[in-house]
Amino acid sequence: MQVFLQTLVGGLSFGAVYALVAMGFSIVYRTMGLVNFAHGQVVMVGAYAASTFYMSSKLPFILAIVVAMLVTGLIALVMERVLRPLENKDFDLMLIGTIGFGVVLESLATIIWGATGRAVPTPVGTEPLDVFGVRIRTYSLVVLGIAAVATVLLLLFLQRTKRGAAMQAVAMDHEAATAVGIHVGRSNAIAFAVGAGLAALAGGLVGPLLYVSPTLGGTLGIKGFAAAILGGFGNITGAIVGGLVIGVLDSFASGQFQGYSDLVVFLVFTVIVMVRPTGFFGERTVNRA
């Protein structure tokens, strides 16, 4: 039972990271109907930026992540501005454009930080906590706590602010939103920036858990993408659930099947989406094609 609970907590901490990545995918998709294929590379840039500000500039860990979120937010605004002329004109080219941005970001990361990667020290004590006989890594609880706070803030932003309401309106019907005076381009830019901020948060949090390298975005991006699909692409609640499910599956598969854990996770994922193609909370989202 102790091993089960320890594995579960570890899976939930990674699941929280996957959920943040999945929410980034979903918020862009539900607003624009666009899958941002550069999202994984934005996660990687966020991880590098956070680790640089934390290790080299000696900023406190949380502050380093916040600065990394601002940096990736600016990158996302540039990305959206470059792609904006193609909106409602050439949707396929927009998708290809995000792939191109991903390649550029990975290449720039290799030039700036090198190809060898880095290990990021944990910002809290390495001694695990003993909770009713279950030894839990302290940093895992930190990840869960920060991810939970970020999720609540995102939901409050979407449901309680004018900008969030505008993004919801654009997601439902961008033509009607334009007719009532909502600036669709601005809403799309905010969606890109928020998605990138979530990506940077995920990257910053995963730094002490994984080795930060230029290929990190591929690993986290594909699992975050799978989590978004599993939950129902475009559904924020579904992204959270999907991320946690992928994280727990990954954790238990790693313990039981070791080197074949990814194979097991994606086999289970495939079976689930075959049974429920729209995911757990699938919903209709905006279609700009």
Span 119-138, pLDDT tens digits: 999 998 777 787 777 788 88
Q: The pTM is what?
A: 0.91
CA 251 to CA 91: how far, in whole Å?
Answer: 37
Using only C-alpha atoms, the chain has a radius of gyration, in whole angstroms, of: 19
Residue 266 backbone phi and psi in degrees, to 5: -80, -25
What's the mean pLDDT in 15-41? 92
Of 63-77, 90-104, 113-127, 274-288, where does mean pLDDT reach its minimum? 274-288
- Does the pLDDT of residue 284 top 50, yes or no? no
Complete domains list, the chain, with CATH = 2-275 (1.10.3470)
Largest CA-CA distance found in the chain, in angstroms, rounded: 60
- Does the pLDDT of residue 289 top 60, yes or no? no
CA 69 to CA 196: how far, in whole Å?
Answer: 7
Instruction: Report yes or no: 167 and 187 within 8 Å, Cβ to Cβ.
Output: yes
CA 235 to CA 227: how far, in whole Å?
Answer: 11
Residue 84's pLDDT band (cuts 50, 70, 90): confident
What's the mean pLDDT in 76-88? 85
Alpha carbon 183 to chain centroid, angstroms: 26
Span 145-201, pLDDT tens digits: 999 999 999 999 988 888 888 887 777 777 777 777 777 788 889 999 999 999 999
